[in-house]
Amino acid sequence: MRAVVVTTGTQGDVAPYTGVGARLQAEGWEVTFVTHKTFGDQLRGCGFDFSALPGDPHALVSSNAFQTWERSEYSLAAAAAQLRRIRSIIRDVGDLMDQVADGLIDAIPDDTDVLLLSGTAAPLAYHFAEAKRIPSMGIYWGPTEPTGQFPPPMGGARSMGWWGNKIAGHVGLRITYAAYGNAVHRLRSRLGVPPAGFSDARRRQAARRWPVLHGFSPTVFPRPKDWREGMDVVGYWWAQRSKEWKPPAELLDFLQAGPAPVFIGLGSMAPGEADRLADLAVTALRQACMRGVIQAGWADLSARSDDVLTVGPTPHDWLFPRMSAVVHHAGAGTTGAALRAGVPSVPVPVTIDQPFWAERIVALGVAPEAIPFCSLTADRLASALRTAVDGPEYQRNAHRIAELVEAEDGAGRVATAVDQLVARERQS
């Protein structure tokens, strides 16, 4: 039996699903990942089969429109400029999805028994599953379904009230369709099925109670009461290490040479900002009188001194528990890894859903504040680090939340749901 995980986007759109893949393998499934070529070595190193999709997500987040959006702080005065940037980003995402649509049919293995679709892939790949009559389900790292209980993650962290949140959620879905619409048309044409709109697919999913399992902790955000049946929040899926990975001797020596350092990394965010961010990080660490481990990421950060070490790809489940605090961009997967580590955080949200998760980290009491990337300074970062590390309440809350999220078996619940889905399809 072959399970195929289809996902698109950045590292944060791929890594969490390796936890699902590993659990399915343990249950006897053959697991193939269908995603961008840049992640092939990483996925093969974790023991998965791999099939490449076209498109370069690194080019998307490095585009002028995306970079300008990252550096911008929203205000009414700048609303028109923000809308122009969003339209430009929608075009860029649409171009990427057009490439994915052209390669999707050939990338998915013929012997696929079930398709597991990420939140970034589902608006397109669902149409393939439906046309080919392959059992499928959504496995999303964050909430996309409109709810009155909180604002849409892609729209920031500020609540607009029950109906405001609900309406904003539907507007967000429409914006998503604007990015995927042409790619859906191309794919359905190649599959030889009639055109279908965004609302058509959503109605069919709701009527079938198409399952969507969300890989974040109900401790962080409980399942909204106004979601339809078939949608659930099951707990984090922990990213897997390459089977060949071992901690570099230089990193081990650095950790042993002094007190626990601070981690600083922005994942796939902020390409082109390497020199400024590295200088800022080093200055903040010196002001806070702390040692630091800086992860290069897609920004290609680099700094080195007696008290600072730069590392490349390093498993967060191994590294974060060895830190005194974690400075991160508040992506969904990194947020989960930081919470699991049981150490305080300083979130520096950049864009998209990151302000949403950053606000939640603060509300859980594991971070003193969220510092928007566009407002980041060395002074502010140093102050937040000292508060996070010296404040016993942040340590206590971090330990408490870590125990709760570690006890959840999100990947196990996905594996059970997959078995149930396939069994139902066989009986129908």
In a domain, 315, yes or no: yes
Give pLDDT, residue 277. 87
Q: Give yes or no for a contact between 6 and 117, defined as CB atoms under 8 angstroms apart.
A: yes
Q: Band of the pLDDT at 99, cuts 50, 70, 90?
A: very high
**Res. 299: pLDDT tops 60:** yes
Residue 65: the pLDDT is: 59
Furthest-apart CA atoms within the chain: distance in Å: 65
Do 178 and 224 fall into the same domain?
yes
Is 402 found in the same domain as 421? no
Please give the pLDDT value at position 12. Answer: 85
Which pLDDT tens digit goes with each residue over 215-256?
A: 999 999 999 999 999 999 999 999 999 888 999 999 999 999
157 has a pLDDT exceeding 90: no
Q: Please compute the mean of the pLDDT values over residues 277-291 and round it to a whole number.
A: 94
At position 368, the amino acid (one-letter code) is P
pLDDT > 90 fraction of the chain, expressed in percent and rounded? 70
Distance CA 129, CA 114 (A): 9
The answer to the question of residue 241 being in a domain is no
Mean pLDDT for the chain overall: 90
Domain of 307, in residue numbers: 249-407
203 part of a folded domain: yes
What confidence score (pLDDT) does residue 74 get? 45
164 and 179 in a single domain? The answer is yes
How does residue 79 score in pLDDT terms, banded at 50, 70 and 90?
very low
Same domain, 398 and 419: no
On whether both 108 and 197 belong to a single domain, the answer is yes
Query: Is pLDDT above 60 for 71?
Result: no
Same domain assignment for residues 34 and 160: yes
Say which residues have a Cβ less than 8 Å from residue 145's Cβ, sequence separation at least 6.
Answer: 169, 212, 224, 227, 228, 231
Check residue 190 and report its DSSP letter.
H
CATH number, domain containing residue 106: 3.40.50.2000
Tell whether 205 and 175 lie within a shared domain: yes
Quickly state the pLDDT bin for 75 (edges 50, 70, 90): very low
Instruction: Tell whether 347 is covered by a domain.
Output: yes
Same domain for 169 and 307? no
343's tokens: 């150490």
- Answer yes or no: is 322 within a domain: yes
108 and 184 fall within a common domain: yes
Of 20, 4, 37, the closest CA to residue 129 belongs to 4
Give the list of residues 6+ apart from residue 180 with CB closer than 8 angstroms, or none.
Answer: 93, 94, 97, 123, 124, 198
Domain count, the chain: 2
Helical segments of 53-161, H only:
57-61, 64-70, 79-107, 122-132
Note whether 171 and 34 are same-domain residues. yes
Q: Is residue 242 part of a domain?
A: no
Q: What is the C-alpha to C-alpha distance for residues 116 and 197, in angstroms, rounded to an integer? A: 22
**pLDDT given for residue 78 in this prediction:** 45
Q: Which of the given ranges, 150-159, 167-176, 354-363, has the highest pLDDT on average?
A: 354-363
Q: Which of 141, 118, 138, 99 has its CA nearest to residue 33?
A: 118
Rg (CA), the chain: 21
Quick check: is 307 in a domain?
yes
Say which range, 78-87, 209-218, 354-363, has the weakest mean pLDDT. 78-87
Domain co-membership, 204 together with 274: no
Confidence of residue 77 (pLDDT cuts 50, 70, 90): very low
Whether residue 243 is contained in a domain is answered as no
Q: Residue 223's Cα: distance from chain center in Å? A: 18
Same domain, 61 and 200: yes
- If you ran DSSP here, which 8-state letter would residue 222 be given? P
pLDDT in tens, 335-356: 999 999 999 999 999 877 888 9
Q: Write the pLDDT tens digit of every residue in 300-349.
A: 788 878 899 999 989 999 999 999 999 999 999 999 999 999 999 999 99
Instruction: Give 380 or 171, the one with higher predicted confidence.
Output: 380
Mean pLDDT of all residues in 180-197:
93
At residue 83, does pLDDT exceed 90?
no
Please give the helix or strand (H or E) that residue 115 lies within, else none. Answer: strand 114-117
Q: Is residue 379 within 8 Å of residue 283, measured between CB atoms?
A: no
**Residue found under tokens 């060395």:** 378
Q: Report whether 280 contacts 377 (CB < 8 A).
A: yes
Q: What six digits make up the tokens of 248?
A: 């570099």
* Burial class of residue 306 (count of CB atoms within 10 Å of its CB; 0-12, 13-18, 19+): exposed
